[in-house]
Chains A and B, each alone.
Chain A
Amino acid sequence: MTTSTTLHRRVSYRFSWVGMIGFTIILFWAVIALLAPHIIPYPVGEIIDEDYFGPISSKLLLGSDYLGRDMFSRIIMGARYTVGISLAAVCLACFSGAALGMAAAVIGGWFDTLLSRLLDALNSIPSKLSGLVVAAAVGSSLPVLILMLAVIYTPGAYRFARSLAVNINTMDYITVARTRGEGIPYVVFSEILPNITGPLLADFGIRFVFVVLLLSGLSFLGLGVQPPYADWGALVHENIGGLPFGAPAVIVPSLAIASLTISVNLLIDNLPKKIRDRSR
């Protein structure tokens, strides 16, 4: 038996530079979204350029859109909607999905079967289609959008969390906790959750990207954020006419969507790794 001399637990993290780049871009957009009303040079709805699809100039940093509104201000405000709605929706989806998934794995039996079949049924409806139907039926408003996106992405998060929790649930330490007489909330949140946080966070990242793309898609179809406000998807849609002219108004929001989704992917593929060097 070896006795160790180390008194303190030494935990350090290794963070690759690729992940760092992703993190920086996400942080950049988050800060922009937070400070948006304070940094926009012009109100979002105001027409300031006589020409439409105006080029980049010192007055209009990113040119003007199809009505001659300032593109720079519209993209900055758009970040609020794209990042905000997506984040709220993905938080809801992942929280409810993970909680239900872990509970189903631990409780098992009819609870598991019923919930799984119900969410499978929900999962079988194509996401864009159900988005279209809901938006057409109850109209598009921010709460409806968030809730709809959350509901669409809950079954996936549920499946993922359940499959992870089912594996952990067979471990002896869960049996020990159960024979100790522990209740289900304790087993779910204290025994299972700490062991699957890593994969759940990765899943959170992927799902965030899905939500951003679906929201942009819906907005492109005119069912997302309503005018005069616009998220990035809507910006691409309303300025699609500028494509023949190579207008920045259509290119820049597309780049914004790409930069956010790609950097989230970079980050989740390169999450900081905990280093456990026991031999020191």
Chain B
Amino acid sequence: MENLVEIRDLRVEATTDAGRRIEIIKGVDLDVAPGEIVALIGESGSGKTTIALTIMGYARPGCRITSGSVTVAGKDMVTLSERQRAHVRGLEVSYVPQSAAAAFNPSKRIIDQVVEVTRIHRLMPIAQAREKAISLFRSLSLPDPEEIGNRYPHQVSGGQLQRLAAAMALISDPKLVIFDEPTTALDVTTQIEVLRAFKAVMKKSGIAGVYVSHDLAVVAQIADRIVVLRGGDVQEVGNTADILSDAKHPYTRELLSAFEPKSRGESVVVAAPGHTPLLKVNGLIAGYGPVQADGLPLVKAVQEASLSLERGRNLGIIGESGCGKSTLARSIAGILPASAGQLTLDGRELARSARHRSREQLRELQIVFQHADTSLNPAKTIEEILGRPLKFYHGMKGRVRDARIDALLDMVRLPKALRSRTPAELSGGQKQRVNFARALAAEPKLIVCDEITSALDTVVAAAVIDLLKEMQRELSLSYIFISHDLSVVEAICDEIVVMYNGRKVEEITPAISKVPQHPYSKLLFSSVPKLDPGWLDRLERDPELVKTYVHG
């Protein structure tokens, strides 16, 4: 059978600001048969999106296709003129972007944007296009398919918008759809609905797909074949089942092993009676907006949360976006002062606002943020970033401080040569290590980690988690670990708190019982994709439960 897409020896070059050229795609071959879904998987910077975009004959600004051919349905996209390419785009190949929220025009109704492709290519009369869009909405299992198109993009949820973006791509009956990480920004419970809808539509209409993702478990559900990329090179190509069960390439195996469930594997420490817990949170309420008559804020993001954490143990807080987990972390750290409730650290009362806490208390409780990019001052060198807490809390100067900076870098497994670099010159994983090392520099008792692995690639995230565990053994730290990713939390935490809608719904101790009791926890735990390709098809969810808790 003739392939729909044939990429032969594709090379893409980028020009740096110094005018030097680097090859970012180094001779890639790729085939997509009609009706087949091929996944491109790899970490950030592996060239997966770049390759996917070349199928539309597009190279991002600063990049250019230097050699090779990209044949789509018999036409070489590399040699076509821009006008001819425009004819192929949207008609034969269409694109579903990562963030549908950024891809829709907020000032136009959704339906007008969905049918735009048919207008540009003069495919069908507008009334017919609208009808077709509505039938697509229906097959993508969107609620209220007749009316949803008349809304504006901000009036639908993230998961719905992503499906609407897929409808926009499918309306012209393309031969190939490129999905660029379409579910990465969604919550796990929402992701399932979107994946199901995509899979059903693609299967029904026999459209080929190129699915770009970094998440092997998601890809396992939808792809026929997987192409593993790294550094602009194909590492391994194979059928989904083969890749998952019998990976040949060491990098693929590394990716797979990052998925293996790692339990904390420690016995339950029973606190001695009369022992004071390290951190105690009692009835904490925090939120945003003007203060009401009862002294509480208008929007309560966290309602009556109570926690207790023993020394040397870790507490995980999980929940979906908007459940209040980050707000809870921020009020524990005193960044967003709580409106009510008590906080005690090591038996001493903590002021609600960081401004009123003593320097010693601030030192003992450090917070590490999700985005290392925004947590490290881009105008400073690593040395200055790590040196400041040493001087501020411990009064270290000169050679003592230099030696300590080296020791800290060593602790987080970074070469000393990075000292004089600025954060922009570091990779994502390196930045997150520096971010963590800065918290270690204070010699804290407790570190609040707010989604610190979410922005990292799977393999890098696994390495950071290992580092956290190691630090804990060496420095007798405690962590509060906030994440939406259950596997990460399970890997490091002794206790897991599940939050929903600002409230703590359940507290689970994995060492005693791994089975969640609360219906929401059950739903959340069952929604995490597994590496098994048949998982999505077998997964059965209680429709009542989904209706109550999933707003995607």
Contact = CB atoms under 8 A, between A and B. Distances in A.
Contact of A4 (B17, B376, B415, B442): B415
A7 B362 CA distance: 35
A38 interface: no
A180 B429 contact: no
B452 to A, nearest CB: 12
B377 A4 contact: no
Nearest to A178: B354
Contacts of B389: 180
B436 to A, nearest CB: 12
B17 A273 contact: yes
A6 interface: yes
A173 interface: yes
Contacts of A117: none
Contact of A194 (B359, B377, B418, B430): B377
B392 A180 contact: yes
Interface size class of B (residues with CB under 8 A): 35 or more
A179 B354 CA distance: 6
A276 B424 CA distance: 9
Contacts of B378: 195
B272 interface: no
A8 B377 CA distance: 20
B392 A182 contact: yes
Contacts of B334: 179
Interface string A87-99: 0000000000000
Interface residues of A, number: 33
Interface in A158-216: 171-173, 175-182, 191, 194-195, 197
A6 B422 CA distance: 13
B374 A172 contact: yes
B425 interface: yes
B104 interface: no
A179 B377 contact: no
A201 to B, nearest CB: 14
B417 A277 contact: no
Contact of A172 (B22, B371, B381, B418): B371
Given A1-B430, A12-B18, A179-B362, A195 B424 contact: no
Interface of B: 16-18, 20, 22, 333-335, 354, 357, 359, 362, 366-367, 369, 371, 374-381, 388-389, 392-393, 413, 415, 417-418, 420-422, 424-425, 427, 429-430, 438, 442, 460, 463
28 contacts: A1-B460, A1-B463, A3-B415, A9-B420, A171-B375, A171-B377, A172-B371, A172-B375, A173-B376, A176-B369, A178-B354, A179-B366, A179-B367, A180-B388, A180-B392, A181-B357, A181-B359, A181-B392, A182-B392, A194-B379, A195-B377, A197-B379, A273-B17, A275-B17, A276-B425, A277-B18, A279-B20, A280-B20
Interface of A: 1-9, 12, 14, 171-173, 175-182, 191, 194-195, 197, 273, 275-280
